[in-house]
Amino acid sequence: MDTTDHDVTIPLSDLPGSITGYLVAHQARDLDAAMRHYTADAAVTDEGHTYVGHDEIRAWLARSASEYTYTVELTAAVRSGDGRFDAVHHLEGDFPGGAVDLHFRFALHDGLISRLVIEP
């Protein structure tokens, strides 16, 4: 989801409910609530690895939630086209480098997350 002329910065409150619900659940480390926001065949790419389907995504969420301690602040949101959104997060914690801005690039299908790519 590259930045193009049709990308529009939106208020954080204008992110779809499935995205905000997922982000809240993810930050709270509530795996059951987080998984309710994904399609059955969803895919997540993080740190160069892709996880497909609920079982792989749930395992990734469980692993990533316990690997480091960090704080997360949602700093910006962009609508990148029909059903595509970029939620920018600032993370600080005990991971290598200590601070990073990450883009959570979402694609939605029927109101649920079908694709998530997390990258700097």
**Torsion angle of C-alpha atoms 88, 23, 45, 67, degrees rounded to 10:** 100
Q: What is the pLDDT of residue 3?
A: 45
Buried-exposed string 65-88: b where 16+ CB fall within 10 A, e elsewhere: eeeeeeeeebeebbbbeebbbbbb
Distance CA 16, CA 12 (A): 9
Domains for the chain: give ranges and CATH numbers.
8-119 (3.10.450.50)
Which 3 state secondary structure label does DSSP give 13?
A: helix
Predicted TM-score of the model (pTM): 0.90
From first to last of its 120 residues, what are the pLDDT tens digits of the chain?
Answer: 444 457 999 999 999 999 999 999 998 889 999 999 999 999 999 999 999 999 999 999 999 877 788 888 999 999 998 999 999 999 999 988 999 999 999 999 999 999 999 999
